[in-house]
A and B are shown apart, each in its own frame.
Chain A
């Protein structure tokens, strides 16, 4: 079996990992599985597309790609702006929906509500952009060879960006006041209030980070596959598999889980056929839940 799946799997895995970080943060701090997280990925990608288009229209059609990459600086700038906007979208959804439910409902209410929110967010994308696929870049990239594997400059850059983002987040969580507060709220929200932490602000920060990283994941996905309103929803199962495999609450775990799920999917596609891709995430999810429910880095309390 050729090792080419490693290159494809790592890129897909980084995409899954970035999304899974948001899932794991929301789950550990708000105690519910947010099934609308996939929609942040789609929204992030479409926002990037629109903003990049707007910058293109404003500056003119002659935006050269960055170095060996297929995308120009307009996409990069659009991606950064879209990350902030998707973060705000996540905060907005919380204010509109989940915050109200936290006051009265149980976490299962929030889970069901997140299903509804997912449908609404997806339907909105379909209404605005239709289901016709669109592209961030239509350049054909020449793959370069790295240790026997063919990988495009885009893919290499995406891997680097994912590792950089997760590394920065991990640093924030372990070293900064905001990060300590997030860990404290995740462990014991009642005590967090008593020691003077503004739990509402920590929750907003959590949504913002989750939304922003989902957007980054969406841009990565949009560079590899067609952009469609269902692109994020289709990634939902791998996201949860990765978050649970990594151990709920663990940011590096979510990235590692994502890479493992991505590699496993790519290996399955190469070895037994593309129709088995979706089943792989499912099998990993079930295996982890049966054998090691706390995941790779999870707490066992």
Chain B
């Protein structure tokens, strides 16, 4: 590793819920600061397990997780955020009984009052809807607003890397477009964003680079436009994904 280590770097990661039967079997990915990387692949490819393992919620068997050169592989989950690595889970990603403001405050421990105020101002500027609903219990937000809140909360302690597990799941195309517009704004601040997506079309609209996982391993990778330009790949990943990939790579 002689090149400057900026951003998130995953090396030959093996991870899974049960020891000895990893779901992620030797995945390597890289996401530079200010880059959006999408992880695509059929159901059961290990995409979600991969981001959960990176964030520390699924045990890692071997391999390395590095963020800006620092080793995060064995860091306990609750210390990931402070180190700059934030995960937005796919479901149950807000505290429904807490208010919108408390959902944000809860991520702000370790910040001084002044720092927290500054962060909240910045966050409410990016998510004006949340500012209006700050007193409301998060359980009363719509699906799209909850997703926005979950992303906003991940931004409270300015992350170096933001991992999102299927952020578009269950959202209308209009809301997905809004959410992805926010991600582009976040990318512009130098955060590296790793996005797991089933919704390939949506992912392609914002990702700089793509990784395709199949059966827990890297299958394809490259800049989005290159992969899009390849008619075979575009056909594979914009159409029925699973069967075609297996057929193409026996």
Contact = CB atoms under 8 A, between A and B. Distances in A.
Contacts of B102: 180, 183
Interface string B142-170: 00000000000100010000000000000
A193 B78 contact: yes
Size bin of chain B's contact surface? 20 to 34
Interface string A158-199: 000000000000000000010011011001101101111111
Nearest to A202: B78
Nearest to B105: A180
A299 interface: yes
Contacts of A180: 98, 102, 105-106
Contacts of A299: 97
Interface string B78-115: 11111000010100111111100010011101100000
B77 interface: yes
Given A180-B102, A190-B57, A196 B95 contact: no
B105 A196 contact: no
B60 interface: no
A297 to B, nearest CB: 12
Nearest to A199: B78
B92 A188 contact: yes
B55 A194 contact: yes
A169 B77 CA distance: 28
A250 to B, nearest CB: 11
Contacts of B82: 196
B92 A183 contact: no
Contact of A183 (B78, B97, B109): B97
A198 B87 CA distance: 16
Contacts of A193: 57, 77-78
B95 A188 contact: yes
B78 A198 contact: yes
Nearest to B157: A196
A199 to B, nearest CB: 7
Contacts of A194: 55, 57, 77, 80-81, 87, 89
A177 B105 contact: yes
Most buried by B among A181, A184, A199: A184
B96 A195 contact: no
A183 B57 contact: no
Interface residues of A, number: 18
Contacts of A199: 78
A193 B110 CA distance: 15
A195 B107 contact: yes
A196 B111 CA distance: 12
A198 B106 CA distance: 11
Contacts of B93: 191
Nearest to A193: B77
B78 A196 contact: yes
A187 B70 CA distance: 32
B74 to A, nearest CB: 15
Interface in A93-121: none
A160 B80 CA distance: 44
Nearest to B96: A187
A196 B107 contact: yes
Contacts of B94: 191
A191 B92 contact: yes
B109 A177 contact: yes
Nearest to A201: B78
A301 B95 CA distance: 13
Nearest to B109: A177
Contacts of A191: 89, 92-95
Given A181-B109, A194-B87, A187 B157 contact: no
A158 B165 CA distance: 52
Contacts of B92: 188, 190-191
Contacts of A190: 57, 89, 92
A190 B56 CA distance: 11
Contacts of B78: 193, 196-199
Nearest 9 CB-CB pairs, A to B?
Answer: A196-B81, A193-B77, A195-B107, A193-B78, A198-B78, A184-B95, A180-B106, A187-B95, A187-B97
Interface of A: 177, 180-181, 183-184, 187-188, 190-191, 193-199, 299, 301
Given A194-B80, A194-B87, A194-B89, 4 more contacts: A187-B96, A190-B57, A191-B89, A191-B92
